[in-house]
């Protein structure tokens, strides 16, 4: 049974308020958990996922960026817990089982038994758990970890732990925990709605789930996976590897997922007027720049053509809603070469 916990309600439209609220925690109800187990678990996942599952995880990382959580070895077998998009859980399970063939791996829906959580906030950015919160060592973090409370990733059944989000340090920490327990370090007055975590991601331009990353359509490099520790270019073959490698070696990614602000003609943020699917138009060139993929309040994300997104200040608007201006934002975590590639391509054109 879940314990009653006071709930912090922060206006999800106020990023400034989130940044100054300190460490927050959200139960990610949009996520579900799948457990893979068996002696061929790693081999099976290695042939399907974009990342290198064989790379041993550091203590602060998940086993695999493409969705996997804690993993453990037991008697020659391996278990991997993966947090996945709950809205397509059944489809994912069917897909994994289709590719299983004769592989010695069991695939189970354990969404009722385990839940996904995220800890985030300005005070967590760029710091190791031991520096930020010394008490974290008592729940399996850092070099001073108490093994009685260590994560299953270290081979113990006695506890579960937070993992530093391997996509970006500014995203905070991710964890999979038994559904009937309260995760460690969750302060009663700092638990907040999942929408606040969405605002946190929107500001950084990090997509998550099939609503934001359309299945069967999205090109991983356009969604910046290469900069989010989500793709290995030297691991060998996996499903879809040829397209990703060809796009990567071509050298120029013409469209990328970008954070957005929605503004009125006076430069003030406008809320509740933008919906996913609206087209972004560059009024200077008259060309379509891209499409809004996610929107909440005055913030959003969209896949935009780089040459149109940054062609003159104030030139982006929404088709059919010309009173709403769109400001495309270059995330501060982007590698410098991404923007240089865009500038060189624009000059050559």
Q: What is the pLDDT of residues 55-91, one digit of tens each?
A: 655 443 343 343 444 555 555 678 999 999 999 999 9
Taking residues 35-63, report their average pLDDT. 77
Among 171-185, 230-244, 263-277, 321-335, the range scoring the smallest mean pLDDT is: 230-244
Taking residues 130-146, report their average pLDDT. 35
| pLDDT surpasses 90 at 148 | no
Lay out the sheet containing 77-85: strands in order across.
Answer: 68-74, 77-85, 31-38, 106-109
Contact 287, 307 (CB under 8 A): no
**HSE, side-chain direction, 13 A CA sphere, residue 341:** 16
Q: Of 155, 167, 180, which Cα lies nearest the Cα of 70?
A: 155
Average pLDDT, the chain: 79
CA dist 137 and 150 (Å) reads 9
Confidence of residue 337 (pLDDT cuts 50, 70, 90): confident
| pLDDT surpasses 90 at 203 | yes
What's the pTM? Answer: 0.80
Confidence of residue 132 (pLDDT cuts 50, 70, 90): very low
Identify the residue whose tokens are 């964890």.
Answer: 175
Sorted by sequence, the CB contacts under 8 Å of residue 127 that are 6+ apart come out as none
- pLDDT of res. 140: 32
- pLDDT of res. 253: 87
CATH 2.40.30.110 for domain 252-347, yes or no, is yes
Q: Of 296, 287, 282, which Cα lies nearest the Cα of 326?
A: 282
| pLDDT surpasses 70 at 185 | yes
Taking residues 158-166, report their average pLDDT. 79
- pLDDT of res. 129: 44
Taking residues 195-203, report their average pLDDT. 94
DSSP string, 219-267: -GGGGTGGGTT---SSS---TTHHHHHHHHHH----EEEEEEEEE-TTS
Domain boundaries, the chain: 15-193, 252-347
- pLDDT of res. 321: 93
- List C-alpha distances in Å: 25 to 85, 189, 340: 19, 10, 36
Torsional class of 300: left (φ above 0), alpha (ψ -120 to 50), beta (otherwise):
beta
Among 43-57, 230-244, 309-323, the range scoring the smallest mean pLDDT is: 230-244
- pLDDT of res. 133: 44
- pLDDT of res. 231: 85
Q: Which two tokens stand for residue 265?
A: 């003609």
CA dist 319 and 282 (Å) reads 10
| pLDDT surpasses 70 at 158 | no
- pLDDT of res. 295: 96
CA dist 130 and 17 (Å) reads 25
Sorted by sequence, the CB contacts under 8 Å of residue 323 that are 6+ apart come out as 264, 265
Between residues 112 and 312, which one has the greater pLDDT? Answer: 112
- List C-alpha distances in Å: 215 to 136, 220, 262: 37, 11, 26
Q: Of 327, 322, 323, which Cα lies nearest the Cα of 304?
A: 327
Taking residues 185-195, report their average pLDDT. 85
CA dist 225 and 219 (Å) reads 9
Q: Of 59, 76, 71, which Cα lies nearest the Cα of 166?
A: 59
| pLDDT surpasses 90 at 40 | yes
């Amino acid at each position: 049974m879940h314990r009653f916990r006071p709930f912090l309600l922060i206006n999800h439209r106020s990023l400034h308020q989130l940044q100054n609220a300190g460490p927050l925690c959200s139960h990610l109800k949009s996520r579900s958990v799948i457990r893979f187990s068996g002696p061929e678990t790693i081999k099976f996942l290695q042939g399907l996922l974009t990342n290198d599952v064989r790379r041993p995880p550091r203590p602060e990382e998940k086993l695999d960026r493409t969705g996997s959580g804690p993993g453990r070895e037991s008697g020659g077998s391996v278990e991997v817990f993966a947090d996945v998009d709950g809205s397509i859980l059944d489809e994912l399970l069917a897909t994994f089982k289709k590719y299983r063939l004769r592989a010695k791996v069991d695939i189970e829906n354990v969404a009722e038994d385990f839940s996904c959580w995220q800890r985030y906030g300005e005070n967590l950015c760029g710091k190791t758990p031991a520096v930020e919160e010394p008490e974290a060592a008592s729940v399996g973090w850092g070099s001073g970890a108490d093994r009685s409370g260590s994560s299953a990733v270290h081979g113990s059944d006695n506890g579960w732990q937070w993992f530093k989000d391997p996509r970006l340090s500014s995203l905070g920490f991710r964890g999979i925990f038994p559904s009937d327990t309260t995760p460690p370090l969750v302060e009663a007055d700092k638990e907040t709605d999942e929408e606040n975590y969405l605002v946190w991601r929107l500001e950084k331009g990090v997509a998550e789930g099939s609503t934001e990353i359309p299945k069967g359509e999205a090109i991983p490099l356009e969604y910046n996976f290469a900069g989010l520790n989500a793709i290995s270019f030297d691991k060998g073959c996996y499903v879809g590897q040829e397209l990703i490698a060809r796009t990567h070696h071509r050298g120029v990614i013409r469209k990328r997922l970008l954070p957005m602000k929605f503004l009125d003609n006076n430069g003030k943020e406008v809320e509740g007027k933008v919906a996913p699917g609206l087209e972004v138009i560059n009024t200077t060139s008259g060309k379509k720049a891209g499409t809004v993929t996610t929107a909440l309040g005055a913030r959003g994300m969209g896949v935009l053509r780089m040459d149109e997104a940054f062609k003159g200040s104030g030139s982006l608007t929404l088709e059919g809603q010309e009173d709403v201006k769109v400001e495309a934002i270059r995330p501060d975590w982007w590698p410098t070469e991404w923007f240089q590639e865009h500038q060189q391509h624009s000059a050559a054109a």
